[in-house]
Amino acid sequence: MKKTVSILTLTLCLLVLMSCPVFAKTINVWTGFPELEPFYKWAGAEFSKTHPEIEVKVLSTSLREFEQKLVTSIPTGTGPEVFDVGPYIAIKLIDADLLPVNPPELDSYLKSGAWSQFAVDYVTIKGNTYGLPLMNGSRAALFYNKDMFIEAGLDPNKPPTNYEELMEAAQKLTKYDKSGKVIRSGLSLRISGGGSGLTEKFRFVLHNAGADLIVPTKNGKWKNGIDNEAGREALRYYIDALHKYKVDDPQVKHDSDAFVTETTAMFLRESWVIGEVNSKNPNLNYGVAPMPGWKRYDTLSQPWAIYMSMEGAQSKEVIEFMKFLTSTQAAPKLIELSGWIPERNFDSEPLVKEIPQYEFFVNPPAEIGYYADPVIPAFDEIQTKVADELMEAFLNKKLVDNPKELDKTVRKIAKLIDSVLKRNNAYGK
Amino acid sequence: MQSLGLDKYSSSERSRFLFCYLMLLPILALFFLFRVFPIIKTFWMSFFDWKLVGKERPFLGLGNYLMLLSDDQFLLSMKNTFLYAGASVIICLLLSLPIAVVLAKKTKFSGFYQAIYFLPYITPLVPMAVAWKWIYDPRYGILNYILSIFGIEPIGWLIYPNIAIWALIIMNVWKNLGYNIVLLMVGLKNISPMYYEAASIDGAYGWKCFRYITLPLLKPILLYVLVTSTINAFNVFTQVYVMTLGSQAAPGRAVRVLLYDIYENGFRYFRLGYASAEAVVLTIIVITLTLIQFKFIKSEE
């Protein structure tokens, strides 16, 4: 009897052990975008179907925490095998020889025509390619509330196409209380909050006005590109919007919160807003239009890539997983599960049919130009520090119709940019 | 053994000492590893262009310290930190002392009020800062709602640079008031009633008693409160970090304090050498202020 019980117990234990999946290898994936976690988890589960020996573990934290964790773990070889990160961190790791050059298999996959030349060039550093562009991290558009357009007597099918029209429409769309205070902004601008995001949004106006935060010099270095008439025009646009035409106010709700709760009529943002609207206010009647133009009709388009660690690049499975994450099979899932637009080409027809607002993001008009963050390590510091200066300037009423003060402010920002470039040995004349 | 002066102890006493030191050794080792060594290392790193990611770490000597002198953001963060620390410590002390004097008398709801005042101190900082962010919201915040009852126009507490730092000071005073009150009450209760009885025989009451008996005898506790409050105020970070997060947050420049600047340079721009130099300056400031406070209180004694 005792023997029978022992045999039965042993058999049961063996059966339990056999029913558990046995993973010979783990692929760790880290991200600073928590909304990407479901996508990576889905991809891991799918990948394990064809590679049962592989287990994919996903870790997501807030972007800044993730960046800190990554730059401390990669040099010590304790980081993840796969991760997505912005160009300003990637270039630091590349400069320090901490990121592997794409193996021939990934390099040819990247250049197979699945990506635009713009995206391929973006991950090409000194002739070598690094990682694969996963999604478009910054392609922005004009979001506008169609009901508010109708209410203000504007044609909801003719959104503003340039910044002048945008200001005119914003004035018609803004609502004030009896004391003249803004209760619904016509155009929600990013005017507060720490961090580089504020500068990035300011660049939407700055770039199309004809300037850039930094511009390359002949000797392959950089200098500020804001100390010029276009730079002053862009800043004046914000100042006028806030203090002269009062189409926005620091004290009202801003950003997607304002758009979703219908306390702003228009704002400039990326594709993820569509997911936000769908989940928080699905009945919102809104449209998405290309970024308004000025001297240029460009839109920021920032490929956000996935990379492998040095250790990860040694593994055939990791390379295959990288390819799977950027496959045509994974592309629709990326939008579905995260709201972000895949950088690679894919069949977007079913998506646009279901949610027409995606049209601009997946099939942008051919005449639109693109620009991206310069791939230099100091750019994030420049954007963050300029944000502090801009924030102060936006609240300064003295800048209204005051070219002298405006000029002083722009020069101060320009000086700050050049000083950061100089300290990073990236400044050139 | 003779040179160590241990010969005056018996062998059993010596083995007892040895046992004590052996038992202390792990804690001392951990203290050295996690406290002393990082301080020495920080000091060392401050002389290099030490980047978190990078192949080279060139020696700069005093280069980082000289750079600090011309760094607008560092100078601004110094100014903000001094304003924040000075105002927080003074306001908190001025408010907590009279409240402690009142609560130290055995009044009816003394215990209840002590608990109420102490609650903010034990509230975790992050949720507290998030809650205050809402309290300060210009449109939906309860603070502006209360002010509107008195006909005061809504204030953009976290929007305008000249107000944002005061919004942080108010929050800090609210948080630390209870802690100061409890400490001062301990000091007040330790003053023997004998002094007050003697004073009353001599005809001294009220303010005179407070000025010539309470205040001098409370000095050790006041010193402790001053020192710990100053150190805590100079180490402000979490509130600033939370308040500047997001698109509707406080202007980073207006509330930039030293620790935030150190964090940003060290862990945002990965300039560890430069951030270390800032940390050394902060340490020197706090030590100097503490010594001044000690000297000031002692000289009065």
Once rounded to an integer, what is the mean pLDDT over residues B14-34? 93
pLDDT interval class at B179 (50, 70, 90) = very high
Query: What is the pLDDT at residue B151?
Result: 86
A256 in the same domain as A181? yes
The one-letter code for the residue type at A295 is K
Lowest mean pLDDT among A170-179, A370-379, B203-212: B203-212
A110 in the same domain as A225? no
Which of A362, A380, A397 corresponds to the end of one domain? Answer: A362
pLDDT interval class at A11 (50, 70, 90) = low
Strand, helix or coil for residue A221: coil
**Is the CB of residue A106 less than 8 Å from the CB of residue A312?**
no
The one-letter code for the residue type at B111 is G
Query: What is the pLDDT at residue B53?
Result: 82
Query: Would the CB atoms of A391 and B252 count as touching at under 8 Å?
Result: yes
Decide if A367 is inside a domain: no
Parallel/antiparallel/unpaired status of strands A303-308 and A132-136 = antiparallel
Q: What is the pLDDT of residues B75-102, one digit of tens each?
A: 999 999 999 999 999 999 999 999 998 8
Which of A342, A362, A382 corresponds to the end of one domain? Answer: A362
Residues B76, B79, B82: CA angle, nearest 5 degrees? 145
A385 in the same domain as A334? no
Lowest mean pLDDT among A3-17, A74-88, A108-122: A3-17
Across A4-8, A59-63, B249-253, B277-281, the highest mean pLDDT is recorded for B277-281
Decide if A232 touches B, using CB distance below 8 A.
no
Nearest to B138 among A97, A251, A391 (CB): A251
Domain count, chain A: 2
**Is the CB of residue B168 less than 8 Å from the CB of residue B249?**
no
**Is the CB of residue A278 less than 8 Å from the CB of residue A357?**
no
CA distances to A90, A214, B263 from A378, in Å = 12, 11, 17
HSE-up of residue B144 (Cα within 13 Å, Cβ side): 18
**Is the CB of residue B158 less than 8 Å from the CB of residue B250?**
yes
**Is the CB of residue A286 less than 8 Å from the CB of residue A145?**
yes
A394 in the same domain as A283? yes
- Give the domain CATH number at A47: 3.40.190.10
**Which residues constitute the domain of residue A195?**
140-300+372-423
Signed CA dihedral, B284, B285, B286, B287: sign only? positive
CA distances to A263, B134, B135 from B140, in Å = 13, 7, 8
**Is the CB of residue A190 less than 8 Å from the CB of residue A201?**
yes
Complex ipTM, two decimals? 0.77
Strand, helix or coil for residue A247: coil
* CA-wise closest residue to A114 among A361, A345, A362: A345
HSE-up of residue A99 (Cα within 13 Å, Cβ side): 30
Name the A residues in 368-387 with CB < 8 Å from any B CB. Answer: 380-381, 384-385, 387
- Give the residue from B76, B238, B247 with the most A CB atoms within 10 Å of its CB, the best one to mutate: B247
Q: Which chain B residues have a beta carbon less than 8 Å from that of A194?
A: 244-245, 249-252
* Cα B54 from Cα B185, distance rounded (Å): 53
Decide if A18 is inside a domain: no
* Structure-token match 């805590």, residue found: B232
Lowest mean pLDDT among B4-8, B17-21, B194-198, B212-216: B4-8
Specify the DSSP class assigned to residue A103. Answer: P
* Cα A191 from Cα A391, distance rounded (Å): 6
* Structure-token match 């230099």, residue found: A376
Name the A residues in 146-205 with CB < 8 Å from any B CB. Answer: 190, 192-195, 197
User: Does B1 score more than 50 pLDDT?
Assistant: no
Query: Would the CB atoms of A392 and B154 count as touching at under 8 Å?
Result: no
Query: Would the CB atoms of B252 and A388 count as touching at under 8 Å?
Result: yes
* Cα B94 from Cα A146, distance rounded (Å): 56
* Cα B71 from Cα B170, distance rounded (Å): 28
A250 in the same domain as A208? yes
Which of A362, A397, A412 corresponds to the end of one domain? Answer: A362
Lowest mean pLDDT among A189-198, A263-272, A352-361, B51-60: A189-198
Query: What is the pLDDT at residue A64?
Result: 81
By C-alpha distance, the chain B residue nearest A423 is B67
pTM of the model: 0.82
Name the A residues in 61-90 with CB < 8 Å from any B CB. Answer: 64, 68, 71-72, 74-75
Q: How many CB pairs under 8 A join A and B?
A: 93
A147 in the same domain as A102? no
Decide if A253 touches B, using CB distance below 8 A.
yes
Tokens of A323: 């390819």
User: Does A137 score more than 80 pLDDT?
Assistant: no
Query: Would the CB atoms of A193 and B244 count as touching at under 8 Å?
Result: yes
Query: What is the pLDDT at residue A62?
Result: 84
The one-letter code for the residue type at A192 is S
Tokens of A21: 């999946």
* Burial of A274 (C-beta count, 10 Å sphere; 0-12/13-18/19+): buried
Q: What is the pLDDT of residues B122-137, one digit of tens each?
A: 889 888 988 998 899 8
Query: What is the pLDDT at residue A47?
Result: 95
Q: What is the pLDDT of residues A377-406, one digit of tens each?
A: 899 899 999 998 999 899 999 999 999 999
* Structure-token match 């998405």, residue found: A288
* Cα A159 from Cα A266, distance rounded (Å): 10
- Give the residue from A183, A185, A192 with the most B CB atoms within 10 Å of its CB, the best one to mutate: A192
* CA-wise closest residue to A195 among A384, A427, A11: A384
- CATH 1.10.3720.10 placement within chain B: 63-300
Query: What is the pLDDT at residue B247?
Result: 57
Q: Which chain B residues have a beta carbon less than 8 Å from that of A195?
A: 244-245, 252
Q: Which residue has the higher pLDDT, B210 or A232?
A: A232
Parallel/antiparallel/unpaired status of strands A132-136 and A124-125 = unpaired
Once rounded to an integer, what is the mean pLDDT over residues A200-205? 95
Could you tell me the fold of the domain covering B63-300? MetI-like fold (1.10.3720)
- Give the residue from B53, B155, B162, B274 with the most A CB atoms within 10 Å of its CB, the best one to mutate: B53
Q: Which residue has the higher pLDDT, B54 or A323?
A: A323
